[in-house]
């Protein structure tokens, strides 16, 4: 009967693939490169196949390594999940949660939600990876990603937290100088600030009851950051678009004004996206449950 493979060694293959090098994996695991190399060599000898191609600059999976990750590690995830379910449901949530989300959502919704959640579970630690650019959850060891808009990859495991509206906005001083458009067509006469992370940042469809109009705009300014777009609008650069959760406070304060408020832009979803694999730590599941309720009730924003 062949020797049984060490489950820790199977996890090592996943960590090496994520880290991309023996040095990076050793730093993450807190051990030496020699230890990792010996464990991998022992597993390859036991299986009778090479799992990685090694060069001086690159470490990549062989076909056998890809098959191992695809076929075996999901089963290991199921085992870990089953063992976790055997533990007491009253166990204190602890450990670190690494969260990735767009900057404006982090500032307006996620940060206060995390503070409220940690008051219930003070043993938890949180790390934010805030960016409007989509991050690789596996490579960056992210526990949970918040995606705003429309999921491009249908294979992602996600849970919908809520919806948001998009608002056309501008500073009152800009509208006083340039005029306030009363029809979608008049938007073409204005300075427009484009969010380049969108698929079509210059093509917008506006709807009023049964009437639908498509407007093609020209950008005077472009940015991949919603924070920068907000700053440009506040400075009087022109008209831009923000999600409602970012815009509401600014509109209530009078810093920005809604443009064409009786016309609606396409709405989008807010999603909690899990990294690949079926195993989810209890702290991740509990936080997503909490965040969904936080989204539904939309408590007062302390920022």
> Which DSSP string corresponds to 50-97?
--EEE-SS-EEE-HHHHHHHHHTHHHHHHHHHHHHHHS-TTPPP-EEE
**49 three-class SS:** coil
Domain range summary for the chain, segments of one domain joined by +? 7-71, 86-164+269-297, 166-266
Mean pLDDT lowest for which of 147-156, 215-224, 285-294? 147-156
DSSP state of 264: B
What tokens appear for 198 in the block? 């969108």
Q: Could you read off the pLDDT of 37-53 as tens digits, one per residue?
A: 888 888 888 888 888 88
Fold match between domain 7-71 and domain 166-266: no
Confirm if 170 and 164 have CB atoms less than 8 A apart: no
What value does the mean pLDDT of the chain take? 85
Q: Please tell me the CATH code under which domain 166-266 is placed.
A: 3.40.190.290
Q: Which fold has domain 86-164+269-297?
A: D-Maltodextrin-Binding Protein; domain 2 (3.40.190)
Q: Which residues contact 103 (CB under 8 A, 6 or more apart)?
A: 130, 131, 132, 225, 226, 227
Q: Could you read off the pLDDT of 163-192 as tens digits, one per residue?
A: 999 999 999 999 999 999 999 999 999 999
- Residue 269 pairs in a beta bridge with 149, 163
Q: What pLDDT, on a 0 to 100 scale, did the predictor assign at position 302? A: 38
Phi, psi of 90 (to 5 degrees): -90, 5
Q: What pLDDT, on a 0 to 100 scale, did the predictor assign at position 182? A: 96
Q: Could you read off the pLDDT of 59-70 as tens digits, one per residue?
A: 888 888 888 878
Cα within 13 Å of Cα(100), Cβ side: 19
Q: How far apart (Å, rounded) are the C-alpha atoms in residues 82 and 300?
A: 38
Q: What pLDDT, on a 0 to 100 scale, did the predictor assign at position 13? A: 81
Q: How far apart (Å, rounded) are the C-alpha atoms in residues 11 and 69?
A: 9
Alpha-carbon distances of 69 from 9, 22, 61, 75, rounded to whole Å: 12, 18, 9, 10
Of the candidates 294, 300, 206, 204, the one whose C-alpha atom is nearest the C-alpha of residue 252 is 300
Please name the residue that has the structure tokens 């006469």: 189
Q: How far apart (Å, rounded) are the C-alpha atoms in residues 46 and 4?
A: 9
State mean pLDDT over 239-263. Answer: 96
State in words which class domain 7-71 has: mainly alpha
Mean pLDDT lowest for which of 35-49, 126-140, 243-257, 265-279? 126-140
């Amino acid at each position: 009967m062949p020797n049984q493979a060490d489950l820790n060694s199977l996890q090592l293959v996943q960590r090496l693939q994520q880290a991309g090098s023996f040095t990076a994996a050793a730093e993450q695991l807190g051990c030496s490169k020699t230890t990792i190399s010996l464990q991998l060599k022992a597993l390859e000898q036991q299986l009778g196949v090479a799992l990685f191609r090694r060069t001086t600059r690159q470490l990549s999976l062989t076909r056998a390594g890809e098959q191992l990750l695809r076929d075996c590690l999901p089963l290991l995830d199921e085992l870990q999940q089953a063992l976790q379910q055997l533990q007491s449901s009253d166990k204190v949530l602890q450990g670190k949660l690494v969260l990735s989300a767009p900057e404006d959502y982090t500032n307006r919704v996620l940060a206060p939600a995390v503070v409220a959640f940690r008051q219930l579970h003070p043993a938890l630690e949180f790390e934010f990876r805030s960016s409007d650019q989509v991050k690789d959850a596996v490579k960056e060891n992210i526990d949970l990603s918040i995606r705003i808009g429309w999921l491009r990859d249908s294979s992602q495991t996600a849970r919908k937290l809520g919806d948001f509206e998009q608002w056309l906005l501008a500073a009152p001083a800009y509208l006083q100088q340039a005029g306030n458009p009363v029809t979608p067509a008049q938007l073409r006469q204005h300075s427009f600030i484009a969010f380049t992370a969108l698929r079509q940042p210059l093509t917008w469809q506006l709807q009023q009851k049964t009437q639908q109009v498509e407007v093609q705009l020209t950008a005077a300014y472009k940015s991949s950051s919603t924070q920068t777009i907000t700053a440009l609008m506040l400075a009087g650069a022109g008209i831009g678009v923000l999600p409602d959760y970012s815009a509401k406070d600014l509109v209530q304060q009078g810093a920005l004004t809604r443009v064409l408020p009786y016309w609606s832009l396409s709405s989008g979803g807010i999603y909690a996206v899990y990294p690949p694999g079926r195993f989810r730590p209890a702290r991740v599941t509990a936080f997503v449950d909490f965040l969904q309720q936080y989204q539904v009730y939309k408590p007062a924003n302390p920022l």
